[in-house]
């Protein structure tokens, strides 16, 4: 297999994590007999400094030419004063829309070694493995008209919650396909009792379900889904929902695992191309100190192997290597409980090297 990966390190802890994680990709390639051509590009604050824009045209062109993009994180206090449309995060939005990445995949997996990190009782979350599929390019975040206007001396703010049938159909298909690769259970989340747009969502998901008789489909209203996620999260396998509800529920699910430094994500287009990135940001408070946890980015690489390169066995070996280093008692500071014994604190470089060693590199 000869595939192109574009690496966009970004700002803060992004570059220091990716410096090391790129070595893991090289080891994976040589051990598995694949060629991954690696290129890099600027986006975010570094791109503003170098080129005056958070997403240089050359970066988007390179991303379009690649099979997959691996992103660190963007943003930081240095660029906080800029207007919203010029901030580093605009680079991220530009990549998502430029690459037509409509399906956002956020797994919430609780590694048994970290069960104590969750705010919930360990029996409720032990062994948790759920996948939230969020529609990423439509819904109320993009609907028109939008704005704030003044009517009769009073300000009035408004947004439009809109989904077309084809947008619902393609995210539903993506979610059913993912459920097929897992435990064949899909829960669609909406607010069909109040919002017509999500009644359409429910109708279209039911229509798509006819093509997937091997997947069990259920529906939950978003308020109930939020309760169920913290009451009994293990009832879920795959959850599919729109942009707004998905934004909120994926953060709830993420926190069930308790460790921001452990959470990967993927955003996919209709052809399997994807952008892979950790859920966390640029962590300016610890940048440049070899304190950042690289495991979220490493697990994002595993997702890339599974979803874009269709190499599930390679993905499983990377995930097993992460489990192995946790079993060895190695922890970056963010996942090291205070006063714990028998665990060893390591930095970004040593943690990545330990995963490479466990992989057999
Ligand atoms: P953050 O995720 O950067 O940090 C939150 C807390 O978690 C901090 O205490 C940080 O030290 C810690 N943390 C985060 N990742 C870690 C890791 N890998 N290892 C160890 N500790 C880690 O969120 P924030 O502080 O709200 O945002 C900082 C900057 O990042 C902002 O400019 C924000 O806009 C940006 N941001 C970018 C993305 C992205 O690029 N996808 C996502 C979120 C935030």
| pLDDT per residue as tens digits for the range 188-209 | 999 999 999 999 999 999 999 9
What does the DSSP 8-state code read for residue 20? H
The three state secondary structure string of 195-206 is CHHHHHHHHHHH
Q: Is 53 helix (H, G, I), strand (E, B) or coil?
A: coil
Atom of ligand 1 nearest to the CA of 283: 3
Q: Which of 251, 290, 334, 357 is catalytic?
A: 251
CATH ID of 109-133+166-262, from 3.90.550, 1.10.10, 1.10.3470, 3.40.50: 3.40.50
What is the band of 145 on the pLDDT scale with cuts at 50, 70, 90? Answer: very high
Active-site residue flag, 276: no
CATH 3.40.50 placement within the chain: 109-133+166-262
pLDDT for residue 144:
96
CATH 3.40.718.10 placement within the chain: 1-102+269-361
The answer, yes or no, to whether any atom of ligand 1 lies below 6 A from the CB of 229, is no
Percentage of residues in the chain with pLDDT exceeding 70? Answer: 100
The arrangement of strands across the sheet holding 264-268 comes to: 35-40, 2-10, 68-73, 274-278, 264-268, 103-109, 129-135, 238-241, 185-190, 216-221
Instruction: Tell me the C-alpha distance between 338 and 86, whole Å.
Output: 40
The answer, yes or no, to whether any atom of ligand 1 lies below 6 A from the CB of 292, is yes
The answer, yes or no, to whether any atom of ligand 1 lies below 6 A from the CB of 162, is no
The model's pTM is 0.93
The answer, yes or no, to whether any atom of ligand 1 lies below 6 A from the CB of 76, is yes
pLDDT for residue 85:
84
Atom of ligand 1 nearest to the CA of 76: 32
pLDDT for residue 278:
97
* Chain center to CA of 134: 10
Average pLDDT over residues 296-321: 97
Q: Is 98 helix (H, G, I), strand (E, B) or coil?
A: helix
CB 3: neighbour CB atoms within 10 A?
A: 16
Active-site residue flag, 191: yes
pLDDT for residue 173:
97
Say whether the peptide bond before residue 245 is cis (omega within 30 degrees of 0).
no
What is the band of 244 on the pLDDT scale with cuts at 50, 70, 90? Answer: very high
Average pLDDT over residues 178-187: 96
pLDDT for residue 112:
87
Architecture of domain 1-102+269-361: 3-Layer(aba) Sandwich (3.40)
């Amino acid at each position: 297999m000869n595939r192109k990966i574009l690496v966009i390190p970004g700002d803060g802890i992004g570059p220091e994590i990716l410096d090391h994680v790129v070595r893991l990709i090289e080891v994976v390639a040589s051990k598995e007999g694949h060629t991954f051509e690696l290129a890099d590009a600027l986006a975010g604050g570094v791109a503003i400094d170098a080129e005056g824009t958070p997403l240089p045209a050359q970066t988007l062109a390179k991303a379009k030419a690649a099979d997959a993009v691996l992103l660190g994180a963007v943003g930081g206090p240095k660029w906080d004063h800029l207007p919203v449309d010029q901030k580093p995060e605009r680079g991220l939005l530009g990549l998502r829309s430029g690459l037509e990445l409509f399906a956002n995949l956020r797994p919430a997996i609780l590694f048994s070694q970290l069960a104590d990190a969750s705010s919930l009782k360990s029996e409720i979350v032990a062994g948790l493995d759920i996948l939230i599929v969020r529609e990423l390019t439509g819904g109320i975040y993009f609907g028109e008209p939008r704005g704030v206007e003044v009517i009769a001396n009073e300000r009035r703010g408004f947004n439009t919650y809109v989904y077309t049938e084809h947008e619902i159909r393609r995210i539903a298909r993506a979610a059913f396909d993912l459920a097929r690769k897992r435990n064949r259970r899909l829960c669609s989340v909406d607010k069909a009792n109040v919002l017509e747009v999500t009644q359409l969502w429910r109708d279209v998901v039911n229509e798509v379900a006819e093509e997937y008789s091997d997947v069990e489909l259920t529906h939950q209203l978003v308020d109930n889904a939020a309760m169920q996620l913290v009451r009994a999260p293990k009832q879920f396998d795959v959850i599919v929902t729109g942009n707004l509800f998905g934004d909120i529920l994926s953060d709830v699910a993420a926190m069930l695992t308790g460790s921001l430094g452990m959470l990967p994500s993927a955003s996919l287009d209709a052809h399997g191309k994807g952008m892979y990135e950790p859920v966390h940001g640029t962590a300016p408070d610890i940048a440049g100190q070899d304190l950042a946890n690289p495991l979220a980015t490493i697990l994002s690489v595993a997702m890339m192997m599974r979803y874009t390169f269709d190499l599930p066995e390679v993905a499983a070996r990377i995930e097993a290597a992460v489990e192995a280093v946790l079993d060895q008692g190695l922890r970056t500071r963010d996942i090291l409980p205070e006063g714990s014994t028998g665990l060893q604190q390591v930095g970004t470089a040593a943690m990545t090297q330990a995963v490479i060693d466990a992989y057999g590199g």
